[in-house]
A and B are shown apart, each in its own frame.
Chain A
């Protein structure tokens, strides 16, 4: 067996098949096994509170990967993520609460319904680009939340709807830990799907559309088909994330899916790294945990300066904005790029050239 600690250094691949391998070296496989083991055993050594936060991170990561397929890979900006989350959440709420379907059926259905709605709002993308498309998707955000809050007989209007946690046989996913495992498994499946998507014709077509759509069309890529497909695939995952979130909070209401949520998801993929799956996860974790971290700093400072609680609270917003600006200036590649840089540094360490 080769030494585990010898890293891949240089490119020795001689076939395309070799180049496409997901786990090229034994080291890769061991690394992933350790990571999986760590993720699955996390609930044993952290508190219930952290398990809850990690669950929220995992749910956001699923949505962020979905958005990244659309924005990062295909280059189609969308400000309608919040509303698409809502479509997923409401679909599962209506199916499970009103029609009594099982969660295991309603979850994929929520994804499919959101995919259809997403595809519908993706149709203008053939003619619209950049800012214009952004405004078109903003319309999706407005229209969907308007429908949700007005269609009282189906959605319960502004009062929202109540859901229950999923159950499997007699086992109910009420505890934080069980729900964490559920979301973790779905996140891993999402990662697996998205990584493989990029290795297919469809994934490469997405990248071609992003880089220059006219050139892509000349190469024989059907622009309309692939752009709408990107909207459909992306919305599917956003819908799944919305459904998971709905069953986690056990409630859906129109105010949960406002424009602020859309912007947060865009911030996740910007900070994480456009066009990177690993970056989507890092970004989701960063945006979810940043307010928590800032809160604990505020709490810590308040112990010493009790009179400034209000001032520090106001500063949280300031720091949030500052973080995004600093990322855009100093590391447009996002957290994923920072991670890559660190890895490259240690690959050559201690004798870099």
Chain B
């Protein structure tokens, strides 16, 4: 009896908490700028006779990389909504069914099974490096093309990951592009010296060996390497070690939080090394965290366009935002990145649908659709994409930008280290 009383009280408290949390959440979500619509773009009623194509999505909304994962997922959803707004794709009923996997690989495994068996998805839009690599054998066995936000060089290996596609320059190619830029723009005599700052994860270590090899090839000296945890709140000891070697440049492969830590501590220690970040180490977030004056002069890879850049590809996004009563201030670069990933996938589905006008589309056919993409113009939102049956790395091109007065400004156009 006593137990029951306690249980009742506890339930009451939980209900209260739920109410409070829901109320609070309602407020915050109305004041926040994000679109969080239903995960699945609902099929409209006039879909009779159309072929249904379900694209599965693995989102990180609540996990470790939720800060960049949420706008990315919104961008993907937004493109599918935009398509529906414009009347969809001829003869197809396109659906995006996405779930939050909280950056946990076992969760990603379960949600992937659900997308494959329950939702009957024929293509997947994924997210992190760890889960993309953990799933690459399964998507190959199940023959589902997979586009993720991870640009790890490992995914270029066609024997091990025949169904993975890279929609931007791989981390290694980004590093090579930076090296080429250093070589061409270095002022002063002697060989430029370089340090590498990364974290001890599959993501962080992915480009390290390739960068070292290419540096040797073109004559940049790698003088130091420092491991800085992805959640580090302090990096002074590593930076002091680095300072002993006094490198001219340091390449950062981290996410926003650790990058901000590095920039802040470098400022505190008065280190004059030029820091250059790969694509996840650049973006609005870094400036927001450390403030405009600390970030001033920081260089980063800008794999995708910022909403405030005047690019032809932005017209579609603006049209979508207008229809939803929003402005470009409500979105960021990661939204653009998600948008382009979804756009490339839809382009492949269109190609596949043209080639195979009958029957339900399969993963193999969409893979062919992806492989037939030639120099797809993304209107400056990202580098143009070309796939082939022996090449799933869409591009080697990327560009660099610098922080000026609290805003990212591109300093190069899209270029490749081979140019």
- A-to-B contact residues, CB < 8 Å: 47-49, 52-53, 56, 149, 157-160, 162-163, 165, 174, 176, 249-251, 253-256, 260-261, 264, 288, 291-292, 295, 299, 302-303, 306-311, 313-317, 322, 326, 330
A77 to B26, CA, bound (A): 43
Interface size class of B (residues with CB under 8 A): 35 or more
Knowing A48-B117, A49-B118, A292-B110, the reply to whether A307 touches B37 (Cβ < 8 A) is yes
Q: 5 shortest A-B CB distances, which residue pairs?
A: A49-B117, A250-B137, A306-B38, A311-B25, A158-B202
Does chain A have a CB within 8 A of B109? yes
Contact between A250 and B113, CB atoms less than 8 A apart: no
Contact between B133 and A160, CB atoms less than 8 A apart: yes
Contact between A250 and B141, CB atoms less than 8 A apart: yes
Does chain A have a CB within 8 A of B241? no
Interface centre among A162, A299, A330 (most CB of B within 10 A): A162
20 A-B contacts (beta carbon < 8 Å): A149-B200, A159-B152, A159-B154, A249-B134, A250-B138, A251-B137, A251-B138, A253-B130, A255-B105, A255-B202, A256-B134, A288-B110, A291-B107, A291-B110, A292-B110, A307-B29, A307-B37, A308-B25, A310-B36, A313-B102
> 1/0 contact trace for B118-145 toward A, CB 8 Å?
1000000000001001111110010000
Q: Which secondary structure dominates chain B's binding surface?
A: helix
A307 to B35, CA, bound (A): 8
Contact between B61 and A310, CB atoms less than 8 A apart: yes
A48 to B117, CA, bound (A): 6
Contact between B106 and A261, CB atoms less than 8 A apart: yes
Contact between B7 and A162, CB atoms less than 8 A apart: no
Contacting residue for B138 out of A48, A53, A160, A249, CB 8 A: A249
Which residue in chain A gives the minimum CB-CB distance to B205?
A158
Contact between A309 and B38, CB atoms less than 8 A apart: yes
Closest CB of chain B to A294's CB: distance in Å? 11
A299 to B205, CA, bound (A): 36
CB-CB < 8 A to B205: which residues of A? 157-158
A162 to B401, CA, bound (A): 37
A157 to B135, CA, bound (A): 17
Contact between A313 and B100, CB atoms less than 8 A apart: yes
Closest CB of chain B to A322's CB: distance in Å? 8
CB-CB < 8 A to A249: which residues of B? 109, 134-135, 137-138
Closest CB of chain B to A337's CB: distance in Å? 14
CB-CB < 8 A to B130: which residues of A? 253, 255-256
Closest CB of chain B to A209's CB: distance in Å? 32
CB-CB < 8 A to A48: which residues of B? 117
- For window 36-65 of chain B, which residues contact chain A by CB distance below 8 Å? 36-39, 61-62
Does chain A have a CB within 8 A of B293? no
Which residue in chain A gives the minimum CB-CB distance to B77?
A309
Additional pairs, 20, CB under 8 Å, beyond known A159-B206, A311-B22 = A49-B116, A158-B200, A158-B201, A158-B205, A159-B133, A160-B133, A174-B141, A249-B138, A251-B136, A256-B105, A260-B104, A291-B107, A295-B99, A299-B99, A306-B37, A308-B22, A308-B29, A309-B61, A313-B100, A315-B21
A288 to B106, CA, bound (A): 9
Does chain A have a CB within 8 A of B169? no
- B-to-A contact residues, CB < 8 Å: 3, 7, 10, 14, 21-22, 25-26, 29, 34, 36-39, 61-62, 70, 99-100, 102, 104-107, 109-111, 113-114, 116-118, 130, 133-138, 141, 152, 154, 160, 200-202, 205-206
CB-CB < 8 A to A253: which residues of B? 130, 133-134, 202
A154 to B324, CA, bound (A): 53
Closest CB of chain A to B340's CB: distance in Å? 22
Contact between A313 and B61, CB atoms less than 8 A apart: yes
A53 to B154, CA, bound (A): 28
CB-CB < 8 A to B109: which residues of A? 56, 249
CB-CB < 8 A to A322: which residues of B? 14
A49 to B114, CA, bound (A): 6
Closest CB of chain B to A263's CB: distance in Å? 12
A311 to B200, CA, bound (A): 31
Contact between B110 and A56, CB atoms less than 8 A apart: yes
Knowing A149-B200, A160-B202, A249-B137, the reply to whether A314 touches B62 (Cβ < 8 A) is yes
Contact between A302 and B202, CB atoms less than 8 A apart: no
Contact between A251 and B113, CB atoms less than 8 A apart: no
CB-CB < 8 A to B25: which residues of A? 308, 311
Which residue in chain B gives the minimum CB-CB distance to A158?
B202
Contact between B137 and A299, CB atoms less than 8 A apart: no
CB-CB < 8 A to A174: which residues of B? 141
Interface centre among B25, B141, B206 (most CB of A within 10 A): B25
CB-CB < 8 A to A303: which residues of B? 38
Closest CB of chain A to B267's CB: distance in Å? 30
Closest CB of chain B to A272's CB: distance in Å? 18
Closest CB of chain A to B18's CB: distance in Å? 8
Knowing A253-B134, A299-B39, the reply to whether A317 touches B102 (Cβ < 8 A) is yes
Contacting residue for A309 out of B39, B102, B104, B105, CB 8 A: B39
Contact between A162 and B137, CB atoms less than 8 A apart: yes
CB-CB < 8 A to A306: which residues of B? 36-38
A200 to B118, CA, bound (A): 45
CB-CB < 8 A to B118: which residues of A? 47, 49
A149 to B204, CA, bound (A): 12
Contacting residue for B134 out of A47, A157, A255, A311, CB 8 A: A255
Contacting residue for B62 out of A251, A256, A313, CB 8 A: A313
Closest CB of chain A to B45's CB: distance in Å? 17
CB-CB < 8 A to A49: which residues of B? 113-114, 116-118
Contact between A162 and B117, CB atoms less than 8 A apart: no
Contact between B117 and A52, CB atoms less than 8 A apart: yes
Closest CB of chain B to A124's CB: distance in Å? 26
CB-CB < 8 A to A315: which residues of B? 21
Closest CB of chain A to B351's CB: distance in Å? 29
CB-CB < 8 A to B37: which residues of A? 306-307, 309
Which residue in chain B gives the minimum CB-CB distance to A296?
B114
CB-CB < 8 A to B61: which residues of A? 309-310, 313-314
Closest CB of chain A to B403's CB: distance in Å? 29
A261 to B107, CA, bound (A): 11
A163 to B160, CA, bound (A): 10
Closest CB of chain B to A55's CB: distance in Å? 9
Contact between A53 and B102, CB atoms less than 8 A apart: no
CB-CB < 8 A to B154: which residues of A? 159
Which residue in chain A gives the minimum CB-CB distance to B160?
A162
Contact between A52 and B133, CB atoms less than 8 A apart: no
Closest CB of chain A to B43's CB: distance in Å? 13
Which residue in chain A gives the minimum CB-CB distance to B104?
A260
Contact between A307 and B134, CB atoms less than 8 A apart: no
A49 to B200, CA, bound (A): 34
CB-CB < 8 A to A250: which residues of B? 137-138, 141
CB-CB < 8 A to A311: which residues of B? 21-22, 25, 29
A288 to B39, CA, bound (A): 23
CB-CB < 8 A to B113: which residues of A? 49, 52-53
A256 to B10, CA, bound (A): 36
